[in-house]
Structure 1
C-alpha cells in the first residue's frame, strides 16, 4: 500500500506542476497583453516587467490552485481508470477508500499552501508590485530627466535642466513651466533644484532653491523671488492613472481584513459598499483555499463515472465542471459586494454543494455504482435515439 500511495502521490505532483505552469503562463501572457500600453509607453525593460509579474504571481496562484488540484486528481484517476488499473486493484481487494490517503494528503498540502498565499502572500505581492512599479517609473520611465532635454510627460507641465545628477537627484539651472491653469502660465526658474521621492504616496517632489516665479495672466506679468518652491508630481498619472495610494480590500492581509470587520472605523473608508467588499474578501480568502481539498475530492468520483474517456476530453470536462464552480463563486462575490445576499452565503454555497456531491460520489464509486443523474442522462439519450430512429 505504501508503494501504491507513493506512486499516486508522485503522479499527482507531476501533473500539478505541469498544470500550474501552463495556467500561470497563460494568465501572465494575457495580463501582459492587457498592460502592454502601460509598459510600452515607458522605458521599462523586459526583465523589469518579469519582476513585476513575479509579484503578481500570488494573486494568480490563489485562483489557479483549486483548478490545478482538481485537474491533477481528475487526470490521475481517469488514467488509472482508462488503463484498468482501478479494476485490477479492485480485484485484488484494494477499495477506493484504501487509495484515498495519497490524494487526501496531496489536496491537504495544496490547501495549506493556498492558505499561506491567501493570508500573507497576496498582500506581500501586491505591496511589492506597487513599490517596484513606483521605482521603475521613477528611474526607468520617460520622466527620468535628461540634461538639455525638455520633458513634457505630465499634462500641462514642461521640465528642463541644463545639468542632471540622477544618483544624487540634483538639477542645475532648472525650470518648469506650468500651463495647467487655463488663461495663465507660470514659469519657475532656479539655479539649483533637488528631486525628492516619496514611495508611500507615489509622489516625486522637485524642490527649487533661490529662484524666481514668473506668472503671466493675460497682459499682466508678476515676478516673485523665493527661497524654496516645490512642485509635486503624481507618478500614477505617468502610468495611465494607476493609483498607488488607494487601499483596496483585495490588497490587504487577512489579519487586516479581520481587524476592519471587527472595527469598521479602522478602515480607509466607512461606506457600506467598502464594508461589504471587506466581508466578501474575508470569506473569499477562506473558501478558495478550501476549494483545493473539496474540488480534489470531487474529481475522484467524476473520474470513476467517466471511465474510458480520453484524457483530452477529460480535460475539457474537468474544466467545464470547474467553470460551473467558479461561476457560482463569481456570482456570490458580485452579489455579496452589491449587498443582494450576505457574503457568507454566497462564498460558501459552491463549496457546500461540491462537498455533498464529492461525499455521495465517492460512496457510489466505491460500491461500483453510478450516480442517479448519470442513469437519468443515459436513459434520456436512449429515448432520444429511439425517437430519431
Structure 2
C-alpha cells in the first residue's frame, strides 16, 4: 500500500505542476496582452516586466490552485479507471477507501499552500507590485501618444493630437476630455501643447498654449480662454485598478481584515460599503483555500463513477462542475459586498454543498454504484436515443 500511495502521490504532483504552469502561463500572457500598450509606451525593461508579474503570482495562484487540485485528482483517477487499474485493485481487495490517504495528503498540502497565500502571500505580492510599479514610474516612465488616435490609457481622460513628436514632446491640434471630475465634463482644445515629464514625482504635465476650456456641469456650459494651461497626470493611474493612495480590502493581510472586523473605527474608510467588502474578503480568505480539499475529494467520485464515459466527456463534466462552484462562489462575493446576503452564509454554501456531494459520491463509488442523478441522466439519454 505504501508503494501504491507513493505512486498516486507522485502522479498527483506531476499533474498539479503541469496544470499550474499552464494556467499561470495563460493568465500572465493574457495580462501582458491586455497591458501591451502600456509596456510599449513606457521605458520599462523586459526583466522589470517579469518582476511585476512575479509579484502578481500570489493573486493568480489563489484562484487557480483549487482548480489545479481538482484537475490533478480527477485526471489521475480517470486514467487509473480507464486503464482498468481501479478494477484490478478492487479484485485484489483494495477498496477505494484504502486509496484515499494519498489524495487526502495531496489536497491537504494544497490547502495549506493556499492558506499561506491567502493569509500573507497575497498582501505581500500586491504591496511589492505597487511599490515596484511606482519606482519604475518615477525612474523610467515616459508618456507617449499616438498621432490621430484617441488615447485612453488614463482612466476617465481621453487624449487626441493630430501631430505628435514624442522625442521633443510637441503636440499640434490637441483635444483633451476629462471625465474624472464627478458631476462635470471638461474639454480642453488648443492648437499646440507640450508634454513635460517629471520622473521624480511620477507625474506628467501637458501644457496647453492659447486654447479654450469647455466645462459642462448639468445644463450649464462655461467657456474660458487661456494663454497657458496645464493638466497634471499621475503615472500610477496607468493600470487603473492598482491605486497607490486608496487602500483596498483585497490588498490587506488577513490579520488587518480581522482587526477591522473587531474594531471598525480603525478602517481606512468609514463607510458601510467598505466594511462589507472587508467582511466578504475575510470569509473569502477562509473558504477559498478549503476549496482545494473539497474539490479534490469531489473529483474522486466524478472520475470513478464516470469511468464508462469517454475521457473528453468526463473532463468537460469536471470543468463544468468546477465552473458551477466558482459561479456560486463569485455570486456569493457579489451579494456579500452589496449587502444582499451575509458573507458567512453565502461563501460557506458552495463548500458545504460540494462536501455533501463528495461524501455521498465516494460512498457510492466504493460500492461501484452510480449516483441517482447519473442513473436519471442515463435513463434520459436512453429515451432520447430511442426517440431519435
Considering the TM-score relative to the shorter chain, is it more than 0.5? yes
1:97 maps to 97
Distance in 1, matches of 2:2 and 2:93, equals 15
How many residue pairs are counted as aligned between the two chains? 329
Q: CA deviation at 1:236?
A: 2.1
Q: Structure 2-normalised TM-score?
A: 0.78
Distance in 1, matches of 2:209 and 2:367, equals 76
1:124 maps to 124
Report which of the two structures shows the higher radius of gyration computed on alpha carbons: 1
Distance in 1, matches of 2:265 and 2:347, equals 25
Q: CA deviation at 1:318?
A: 1.5
The 5 Å alignment of 1:156-175 reads: 158-159=195-196
2:307 maps to 307
Name the CA shift for 1:309/1:376 in 2 (closer, same or farther; >3 Å): closer
Give the conservation status (yes or no) of the 8 Å contact 2:209–2:226.
no
Report Cα offsets for 1:226-263 as digits up to 9, x if no partner. xxxxx997332566685211101110000000011111
The 5 Å alignment of 1:22-41 reads: 22-41=22-41
Distance in 1, matches of 2:255 and 2:170, equals 43
Report Cα offsets for 1:51-99 as digits up to 9, x if no partner. 1111000000000000000000000000001111001000111000000
2:63 maps to 63
Q: CA deviation at 1:5?
A: 0.3
Q: Structure 1-normalised TM-score?
A: 0.78
1:50 maps to 50
Q: CA deviation at 1:34?
A: 1.5
The 5 Å alignment of 1:1-389 reads: 1-142=1-142, 158-159=195-196, 234-237=234-237, 243-388=243-388
Report Cα offsets for 1:152-209 as digits up to 9, x if no partner. 79x9875489xxxx9xx7xxxxxx996599879xxxxxxxxxxxxxxxxxxxxxxxxx
Give the conservation status (yes or no) of the 8 Å contact 1:151–1:160.
no
Distance in 2, matches of 1:181 and 1:239, equals 31
Q: CA deviation at 1:309?
A: 3.5
Distance in 1, matches of 2:241 and 2:382, equals 59
Name the CA shift for 1:343/1:240 in 2 (closer, same or farther; >3 Å): closer
Name the CA shift for 1:19/1:177 in 2 (closer, same or farther; >3 Å): closer
Q: CA deviation at 1:305?
A: 1.2
Distance in 2, matches of 1:323 and 1:237, equals 32
Q: CA deviation at 1:383?
A: 2.0
Give the conservation status (yes or no) of the 8 Å contact 2:206–2:232.
no
Report Cα offsets for 1:18-64 as digits up to 9, x if no partner. 00000001111111122222222211122211111110000000000
Give the conservation status (yes or no) of the 8 Å contact 1:152–1:159.
no
Give the conservation status (yes or no) of the 8 Å contact 1:38–1:240.
no
